[in-house]
Structure 1
Amino acid sequence: MNRFFTRIMSSIALVALVGAGCAPASSPSVSGGGAPSVPVASKGCMHPYFPIAPGYAVTYASQGPAGKSEYTMSVDSVQGSGAVLAYAFSNSNVTVTQNISCDGGHIVAEGYLDMGSAMGNTGFSFITNSAEGEWLPSNLAVGSEWTSTFDITMQASAAMGLPEFLQNVQSVVTMNRSVMGTEEVTVPAGTYTALKVKSHMTMESADLPVPMNTAVDSIEYWVKGVGMVKSVGEGATIEAQSVTLP
């Protein structure tokens, strides 16, 4: 059973903090270089490493345990100090969304992102019961450390035919992240000087007959004014193919 859930964690963990959607075709495409100015999306909603404004989009290609996948993250809408991110997958016509909000310059994810089902057809969906902590702190810099925690319910589709105790699994997902330094990184979208972020993600499910504790480690590369351009971990790599700024 632990091996089964480890496979699911591997398919979702690397993309739990990034995303996809619909960007206007007329928006300019960014191909590396310096950091452009970051627009203010609303009062109190601004982050130097994540442009929260309609028109912002990043297309990613993923290669890993779940196979090949390409998806686009975009800011679908902005209202007040909150925004909706959309993640559209080119190989499945699936789109999932995630609500985020701004709190004192920090970006807060209001729910756990169900990327595993969209990317790997795992048969699971995720319901967020509660969320705490920061998605991205306002003072993102070398030495920054932060934690976000999600209390979730993993629901299995009836078609999976799993026993009752595996149909609704209560779990706690914890993401501990820290900025290790800066590094030049080259992806199809361009060459950038990025912050190198270490991510340690755990999923604990205490209500199973045999409690499960699974961990996934990855390295992310965040670029000022652009967002995340690369993530590597657990045999999977995600790279930005193109970046569109508002």
Structure 2
Amino acid sequence: MFRALLSLALASFALLASAARYPSYGTLQTINSSGVLNVMINNTYSSVNLFDLHIQSDLANLIETLQANDTDIRVAVFSSANKDSFLAHININYFLPGYGASLTFNFLMACDMRFASTSPSVILSQLETSLGTNPGAAGAMYLSHLIGRGRTFEYVLSSYDVDTVTAERIGWINTAFATSSELHTYVQGLAARIALFPAAGIAGMKQEINAVNRPPREVSCRIRRT
């Protein structure tokens, strides 16, 4: 079951809502090796890996497949095929009439762990307030458990960009690495180690941790338009 997996994001931003079903994962390149599913995001419809309906649909299909099948996958690691952009913010058109705000999904905040490089090009942000809306799918709720209530207000209400050194210091990400090589080596090693252990133990521990630091689904999926 996918809920038993740990999800790790490389270099910035992980997971999502419902969408139309596609026959394949056109924007996702997947490799399953010894219990670790590496998922490389490659939105060829966008030069900046824009989070659009293509990515959303493919992620929905991937998650549905993992939920429906009894696989040996223990950990999902998300990375990017785009060297300049891990994942750009959601298509602003989603906020226009005719689109649902429920399409907004905070990819990074849905991950269980987050790792990044200290490259100046890696920036984190919750910019929804500047657009007159709020982070959908519990982005701000998750963030408040990571960096605290006061800091969440500071960064969400200001829509400030945050560098990864600062993000590591305040707990937004687990670790910021000096080089991409160090980043990938550590995350792959961590994923491989976790994948050695029984799925039941991983699932049980994840459920216990989530019980105290994640909002109920009926709350996290409630979207308020302004």
TM-score (norm 2): 0.29
Higher strand share: 1
Higher helix share: 2
TM-score (norm 1): 0.27
The structure, 1 or 2, with the larger RCO (C-alpha pairs under 8 Å, 6+ apart) is 2
